[in-house]
Structure 1
Amino acid sequence: MINYQGNLISEEDPILNHNNRGLILGDALYEDIKAVNGELYFWEEHYLRLMSSMRILRMEIPMNFTMEFLEEQIKAVIQANDLGNQPAFVRILVFRKHGADLFQEDNEVAYLIASEKGDAPFYTISEQAYEVELYKDFYLNADMLSNLNSTNRLLSVTGGIYARENGYQDCLLINASKNVVQALDGNLFLVKGNEVKTPPLKDGCRDGILRRKILEILQKTEDFKVFEASISPFELQKADELFITSIRKGIQPVTKYRKANFKTEVSRNLLGKLNALARLG
């Protein structure tokens, strides 16, 4: 079952037509949320990011789009799919309702909420090899639109095909200044000694919720100095660790980039603190 505009309907029911703006123009936003036993991890942060993103895209926010209302709609989907007593992932998709005209005056939105079963109640570290390479066919724009979770993901789609065709588990995206910005579907962190760096939003990386949480954890510890600073490709092979953060994977250590092999100690240490933070809400 999915929730379309407050109505629980079958996943097989047609709801999108040929004029859907999200389909034709990529005029849509989404939030992926981890849920455990019906409780949403970091829900307030997801909600506030969604509202901020809608304002940036000049979408008309419905009066009933309160945090309580959307939480209720999400939990209705979770319960309808018998996911209330197990891990799950939820996606909220918001798109402008009417027409594919670029000069459409109506900014009203529609929403769709779907859910699926998750793997584990808390984040875990994968023991599998995770090799990455730079994806240089196209550049990521260093602007505010790149910070958003929009459905315009062609760069990541083509990067994913490149990774699959060349035997990599992921790719790292770069911007026009040739700075490393993020992975295909997650934020990048680099560890060198007691310093941890992650690209700043101005470089064009996604404003990820787990990026925020890892920065919050690091800023409270005396073990590391943390920086939001540009990362050049030359720094990658000199790093002690590289890891990627995303709502679906949590923390994904990178094991290899070209001739460099990486440790995972910092990733594992941060994972426990992230799970503790998630339990606290």
Structure 2
Amino acid sequence: MTMIYAMPGNEMFAELLIQHTGYSRAGLFLHRFPDGETRVSVDVPAKGEQAVLVCTLDRPDPKLWPLTMAAATLRELGARRVVLVAPYLAYMRQDARFHPGEAISAKLLGEWLDNTFDALVTVDPHLHRYHSLGQIYSRQVRMVHAAAELTAWIASHVERPLIVGPDEESRQWVTAVANLLCAPSVMAHKERRGDREVTVHLPELGRWLDHTPVLLDDIIASGQTLLQALRSLRAYTTAKPVCVAVHGVFADGALEALRGENAGDVVTTNSIMSETTQIDISKVVAEALMDVCSMATVTGTQQVSL
């Protein structure tokens, strides 16, 4: 038997997973004391069953300790395995020590995952210097890719799309979506000088002037890369570009800034729920979760991309 527990704010995504999997819903409750401490309570699992915690990890710091307590409590109360479904996985950016004394947060997150969960399901993690999550997390992993869902939305809402990658890190999503759409694509070159200091250079777009630019990326956080790409597009077209991303993290003011730069639709998946959410990835996440739960007797690292 498998029970699904939703951390606060993840109830809607958890309900979609329940609809797709047929797993049972269980209660999880947080109480915040006036001094800032948290009490975690869970419905007691039947001994030997699997417990699934659903918690997307945008703005992660206030979530990590309650999530740790929930996982430990479920295990203490008899859960045979504890699985984390984190559609967005935080702390992938700092995957090296860029300056003396810096913490390598991606590595530390992997160690925390190893010590807390038996398996992980996540969506398009922002891997840069790591080639796979298996390099930082040694247990069972399913990395879900959302390219097909992004493609379906673009096909339904954009006529004659030109898929534009705002930087080299977006290439894998741009290539996958452009191939599925049989649409043209171009890649920009980014120069970053700080968290909010970015310059984006686009190649010549003259042959695609009758197309609608679709800026495609995995994450919108500060939004600076997309902002600079939007400004560069002004030299080539008066068409309103569309911005599409897997994860809409949106630092303060980022969404407003994008809309202020004449962006058309700004669209993201429900890996993080927001006003931009239009693309549902719950079905493919549910398929990955069922695969993980059906392999409960398998030990060691199992990493598959779906």
Greater RCO (CA < 8 Å, at least 6 residues apart): 1
Normalising by the residue count of structure 1, what TM-score does the alignment of the two structures yield? 0.29
Q: In terms of Rg, which structure is larger?
A: 2
TM-score (norm 2): 0.27
